Amino acid sequence: MREGRTPMKEYDAIVIGGGPAGLGAAIEVAKAGGHPVLIDENARPGGQLFKQIHKFFGSREHYAGTRGFAIGEKLLQEAEDEKVEVQLNTRVWGIFPDHIVTAVSGKEAVCFRGKTIILAAGASENSLSFPGCTLPGVMMAGAAQTMMNLYRTLPGKEILMIGSGNVGLIVAYQLMQAGAHVKMLIDAAAETNGYEVHAAKIKRAGVPIRLGHTIVRAEGNGRVESAVICKVDAAFHPVPGTEEKIDVDTVCVAVGLSPRVELSALAGCRFTWAGALGGQVPVHTSGMETTVPGIYVAGDGAGTEEASTALDQGRMAGVSAAHRCGLLSDLREAEEHRKIQERLDMLRSGQFGEKRKSAEQAVWKAAGE
């Protein structure tokens, strides 16, 4: 190594993103006897799990009936037991040929080389543009959730929630649990988007759900003081004369998630459109390998689904990476993949699951499967 160059550490797998997908991946590589490093920009791994205070669905393998943060604790324990090396407060900015990953850790430049790279960067919430959308008090639903469930800070008192998907429904309920008043939940769609069990909870609590409505603008002097909503027609155009002003101090936006694909794009992965998975996603096999050999994706960054799905996709990618490193035989890889795929199929059943399943299968097809 030339003097003055950033020292480079070598690993079997560089796992980027410490949410359920990244944790699952790193754990599987370590379980196979490999040496992974798990990199996360936050002070603590776990991704968004620690703000999920509701109970998860699914099977026992998917921790059904367990609250999100408890699942996070279990995964961190498992990662610790497997001696997964964790590099926190570290933000990856570059991926170079030969699986070289560059990052900034505090004020230090750090550099890693891996036999494989597993990208598990998660998703970001979609924004919604309307007059007043930059006023303090308009925030992503996830921001409200972070404030109240991680830091016990009530982000507002009178809330308008936009979006009836699971994030909108769950965060609306959690805002009430934290002591806020959710004045109304609106969605431009004609039907609620999320699971009925979540919608029923907030209906029971007396929150009006106005479908076929959108926000016109947020108003206020330096901060949100009110919001104007209106009806939309079947083509989602505002219906004149239906404007209605509601007094709120906070507008929460929950209009879907998009895969975070900066790093997979940077790595040169080929992309395909998968609407049911949040938009442009890196093409990948059922074993989660991208079109760049040795680079894998998992979790929301491979297509937005759910935390349980992300965890198993991570495990899938971890097994693939371990196999590539020579840590697992062909037979073991196939066997592990089969078990994980069975669980994923279970998660992708039902009305919503089937759509994601066929979208995911189309992605595999694009990868040549």
Partner 1 sequence: MQYVSDHPILGKGEAKELTIFFDGKPVKGYEGQTVAAILMENGVRTFRYTAKRREPRGLYCGIGQCTDCIMIIDGVPNTKACMTFAKEGMRTETQHGNGKTVDAGRENADERV
- The answer to the question of residue 87 lying near partner 1 (CB under 8 A) is no
Cβ atoms of residues 178 and 144 within 8 Å: no
* Residue in 17, 19, 36, 156 binding partner 1, rule: CB under 8 A: 156
Cβ atoms of residues 144 and 137 within 8 Å: no
**In what helix (H) or strand (E) does residue 362 lie, and over which residues does it extend?**
helix 350-366
- Where does this chain touch partner 1 (CB under 8 A) — which range of 28-36, 153-161, 268-276, 325-333? 153-161
Question: Of 26-85, which residues contact partner 1 (CB under 8 A)?
Answer: 41-43, 53, 67
* Residue in 88, 100, 111, 154 binding partner 1, rule: CB under 8 A: 154
Interatomic CA distance for residues 259 and 243, integer angstroms:
34
Smaller CB distance to partner 1: residue 86 or 327? 86
Residue type for position 253: V
Q: Kindly write out the interface string for residues 199-228 of this chain, putting x where it contacts partner 1 by CB under 8 A and - elsewhere.
A: -----------------------xx-----
* Residue in 77, 81, 157, 349 binding partner 1, rule: CB under 8 A: 157
At its nearest, how many Å lie between partner 1 and the CB of residue 153? Answer: 4
Residues in the chain: 369
Question: Of 90-149, which residues contact partner 1 (CB under 8 A)?
Answer: 124-125, 134-140, 142-149
Q: Kindly write out the interface string for residues 167-186 of this chain, putting x where it contacts partner 1 by CB under 8 A and - elsewhere.
A: ----------xxxx------
At its nearest, how many Å lie between partner 1 and the CB of residue 283? Answer: 24
Q: Which two tokens stand for residue 30?
A: 């370590």
At its nearest, how many Å lie between partner 1 and the CB of residue 356? Answer: 24
Interatomic CA distance for residues 50 and 55, integer angstroms:
12
Q: Give Dmax over CA atoms of the chain in angstroms.
A: 71
Phi first, then psi: what are they for 52, rounded to 5°? -90, 100
Cβ atoms of residues 17 and 264 within 8 Å: no
At its nearest, how many Å lie between partner 1 and the CB of residue 292? Answer: 24
Smaller CB distance to partner 1: residue 104 or 154? 154
Cβ atoms of residues 211 and 128 within 8 Å: no
Q: Which two tokens stand for residue 320?
A: 């693939």
Cβ atoms of residues 199 and 216 within 8 Å: no
Smaller CB distance to partner 1: residue 251 or 322? 251
Smaller CB distance to partner 1: residue 29 or 307? 307
Question: Of 245-284, which residues contact partner 1 (CB under 8 A)?
Answer: 249
Of 111, 115, 84, the closest CA to residue 8 belongs to 111
Phi first, then psi: what are they for 244, rounded to 5°? -145, 130
Q: Which residues bind partner 1 (CB under 8 A)?
A: 41-43, 53, 67, 124-125, 134-140, 142-157, 177-180, 222-223, 249
